[in-house]
Every structure is written in structure tokens, then in C-alpha cells.
């Protein structure tokens, strides 16, 4: 920084100094808002000197006072202050000024002149990411060769994260491809009210602010009839102090999607999700179905095997009992025994029904999912202890 003499009526210099505004929040209208960094003063050795009240700052910034005092030619007097650019931080960007107190050769009075200057520290805006969800699921489609797919009526949720520069009031803006052009020409897009959240500017402690903005868009039939791609882009534009001319972020991310009408064979191979809860839930459901199916199959197989064994045992018992009764009946008592055959048939049927009921109850307790349990039971009931048993007994007589 250089503080030189521009006044033409300087007769004697009393004081020349470089000052800095104490805080970026102060207006500078009060003399106490400023602190002196370097000075040269009449009546001393008149050499460039750093002030004691900035000793700590001088060390941390590598401040060096320089210049020369010229009593014979006051207009050639110069005061300088140098600093290490690598050690500057955002807080150093504030107002600085040169103050000169001198005796006017015209009025012969003491005159005080101040000239302000701005030392600016700022960053250029840059978009860092664009994440898109279709109906709640993250999709990829960041180039025309890798487009996402969507159907008419789907909701696209676009979330843009950007360093918006050094002005916290800067907003993230959007582009969208035109519906009338066959080329992927991006035009300005203003999201309808209620579908846009511009987010909050948050300091990144590095001379800039970040912002996360979200907009939602429902695909239309016009999007399905496009000659070009439906695509979006987010970007940041800044202008004014400290940028001077406007500056727009470069290499902004874009999102492309191919919109189809319902039933036109839309694929979902570009849909992904990073929701670990959803992944675990889906995997758990699939695993539960597989385990349940396997368990049900094993239980049904075991139950049917047990049922067949029970049925064989019942039939074997029925046959043995029939043979026993047949061989034990003598010809001398044929008429008497024949009169008891109906009771024997009823006993056999009751016994078969009892064992079949037990088999069915056991099968039903093991698995309520076996749909053929009832039919198995009915088949056993019809096949055991029926009129064929009685007919066999009568034939053996």
C-alpha cells in the first residue's frame, strides 16, 4: 500500500499514516473505528514506523513499513506498507485509508485530508454437485449419452449445492432446455411458486458462502413429445463489488432425462438408491420370503411323509384286525358272528377317524400354510373304514 502526496498546497507535513477499519461491521464514521498501522510524524526521526497497537497483527501478516520523508520537497514524501499475501485471510478484506495532516501554504492553517481504499478478498462461485431423484429415488443422467428415464407425471427433485461466492445474498439459478428447439439449448427457468427452496447461505470460513437449493418438476406430455432432451442445469451469477463485471460459474453439472408416456416400455436401469434403510428392508423382505417358502416346503414334506406312514399303519391295522376276526369265527357260529359284523365295521371306522383326526391336527399345528391339509384329511377319512372294510369282512366269512 502506498500513501503519497497529491495536494498542491502542502507547506509542512505534520503526520502521514496508513489506517485500517477495526471491523468489517463498522461504518468508519467514528475516528475510534480506525486503527493506525504505519506512520511518519514531524518532530521525530521521521522514519516509517509500525505502531505498537498492531504488533501482534504485524507479526502474523509480516507487515513492513517503508517510504521516505522529504522536508525540502514535502510533495515527494511517501509512506508504504507491505504484507505477506499468503498470510492474509478473509477478515483482512476491509477498508483501509491514507490520512495526511499538513500546513497549507495557502491558508497557513492545519489541514486534514483522508483518502479511503478497499482491500477485497473474494472467491468466484462454483457449483459442486447436482443430485436428482425421480419419485423419491436417486437417478443418474448427467450426459445425453447416459440419460435417466421417466414417465409423464413423474416428479423430479433436483438438489444443487454450490459455493455462491463472497456475497451471501447470491441465489442459485436454473436453466432448462427449450421445448421448441431440436437442439439442447438451455434457457432460463424459473420454478413455479411452492416448488422451489433456495436454501440458506452458510459461511464456509474461506471468504465464501455455500447454498443448497432444491426445485421440483413434474414431467408433462409435452416433454414426452420433445424433439430434444429434457435437461436441467444449475448455475451461479455474481456482479458488483468486489467482482466488478458479472461472473457466471463454469462447468456446471447438468441432468438429462428421456420422458415417455405410460406403457411405452420405460426401463428403470438408471434408478439407484442410497437409502440404506430401504436397501436393508428390501433385502430383509426377500430373505424372509425365501426362508418362509423353504420352511413351509420342508414342513409340508415332513407332514405328508408322516401322514402317509400313518395311513399305512391304519390300513395295516385294519387288515390285521379283519384277518384276526375272520380266522377266529367258526362255522358253528357263522350266523351269530354275522349279526355282529356291523358293530365291528363301526368300531373300525371310529378308530380310523380318530387316528386321521390326530394326523390332521398334528399337520395343521406344524404349518397352517399347507393348503392341501384338509383335502388330505378328507381323503383319509373316505378311504379308511368305509363299506369296503365291511364287504371284506363279509367276504371272509
- 3-state SS, residue 258: strand
- Find the length of the chain: 397
Q: For residue 126, what are the CA distances in angstroms to 142, 168, 233, 243, 253? A: 17, 14, 13, 14, 10
Nearby residues of 334 by Cβ (< 8 Å), 6 or more positions away:
397
What pLDDT was estimated at residue 129? 97
What pLDDT was estimated at residue 348? 54
What pLDDT was estimated at residue 361? 56
The CB density around residue 396, as the number of other CB atoms within 10 Å, is 12
Provide the whole-model pTM. Answer: 0.53
Query: Which regions in the chain score pLDDT beneath 50?
Result: 268-270, 273-292, 294-296, 298-300, 302-307, 309-310, 314, 318-341, 367-370, 385-397
pLDDT tens for each residue of 5-63: 999 999 999 999 999 998 888 888 998 999 999 999 998 889 999 998 787 778 888 99
Determine contact, residues 19/111, Cβ cutoff 8 Å: no
C-alpha count within 13 angstroms, C-beta hemisphere, residue 91: 6
Q: Which residues of 240-256 are buried (b: 16+ CB within 10 A; e: fewer)?
A: eeebeeeeebeebbbbb
What pLDDT was estimated at residue 142? 92
pLDDT tens for each residue of 326-352: 444 344 444 443 444 455 556 655 665
What pLDDT was estimated at residue 237? 95
Residue 125: phi, psi to the nearest 5? -70, 155
Amino acid at each position: 500500500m502506498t500513501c503519497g502526496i497529491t495536494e498542491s498546497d502542502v507547506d509542512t507535513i505534520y503526520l502521514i499514516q496508513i489506517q485500517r477499519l477495526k471491523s468489517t461491521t463498522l461504518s468508519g464514521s467514528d475516528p475510534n473505528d480506525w486503527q493506525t498501522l504505519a506512520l511518519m510524524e514531524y518532530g521525530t526521526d521521521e522514519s516509517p514506523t509500525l505502531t505498537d497497537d498492531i504488533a501482534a497483527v504485524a507479526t502474523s501478516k509480516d507487515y513492513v513499513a517503508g517510504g521516505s520523508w522529504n522536508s525540502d520537497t514535502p510533495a515527494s514524501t511517501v509512506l508504504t506498507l507491505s504484507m505477506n499475501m499468503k498470510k492474509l485471510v478473509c477478515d483482512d478484506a476491509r477498508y483501509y485509508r491514507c490520512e495526511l495532516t499538513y500546513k497549507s501554504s495557502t491558508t497557513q492553517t492545519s489541514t486534514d485530508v483522508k483518502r479511503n481504499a478497499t482491500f477485497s478478498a473474494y472467491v468466484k462461485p462454483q457449483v459442486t454437485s447436482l443430485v436428482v431423484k425421480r419419485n423419491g429415488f436417486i437417478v443418474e443422467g448427467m450426459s445425453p449419452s447416459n440419460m435417466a428415464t421417466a414417465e409423464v407425471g413423474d416428479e423430479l427433485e433436483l438438489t444443487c449445492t454450490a459455493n455462491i461466492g463472497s456475497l451471501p445474498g447470491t441465489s442459485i439459478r436454473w436453466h432448462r432446455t427449450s421445448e421448441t428447439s431440436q437442439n439442447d439449448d438451455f434457457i432460463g427457468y424459473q420454478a413455479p411458486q411452492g416448488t422451489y427452496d433456495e436454501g440458506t447461505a452458510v459461511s464456509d470460513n474461506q471468504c465464501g458462502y455455500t447454498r443448497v437449493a432444491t426445485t421440483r418438476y413434474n414431467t408433462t406430455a409435452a416433454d414426452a413429445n420433445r424433439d430434444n432432451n429434457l435437461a436441467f442445469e444449475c448455475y451461479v451469477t455474481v456482479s458488483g463489488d468486489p467482482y466488478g463485471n458479472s461472473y457466471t460459474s463454469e462447468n456446471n453439472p447438468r441432468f438429462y432425462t428421456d420422458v415417455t408416456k405410460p406403457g411405452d416400455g420405460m426401463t428403470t436401469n438408471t434408478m439407484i438408491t442410497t437409502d440404506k434403510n430401504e436397501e436393508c428392508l428390501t433385502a430383509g423382505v426377500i430373505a424372509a420370503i425365501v426362508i418362509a417358502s423353504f420352511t413351509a416346503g420342508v414342513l409340508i414334506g415332513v407332514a405328508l411323509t408322516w401322514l402317509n406312514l400313518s395311513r399305512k399303519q391304519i390300513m395295516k391295522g385294519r387288515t390285521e384286525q379283519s384277518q384276526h376276526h375272520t380266522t377266529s369265527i367258526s362255522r358253528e357260529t357263522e350266523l351269530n358272528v354275522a349279526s355282529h359284523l356291523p358293530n365291528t365295521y363301526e368300531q373300525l371306522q371310529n378308530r380310523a377317524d380318530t387316528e386321521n383326526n390326530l394326523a390332521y391336527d398334528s399337520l395343521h399345528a406344524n404349518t397352517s400354510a399347507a393348503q392341501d391339509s384338509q383335502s388330505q384329511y378328507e381323503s383319509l377319512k373316505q378311504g379308511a373304514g368305509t363299506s369296503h372294510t365291511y364287504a371284506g369282512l363279509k367276504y371272509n366269512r
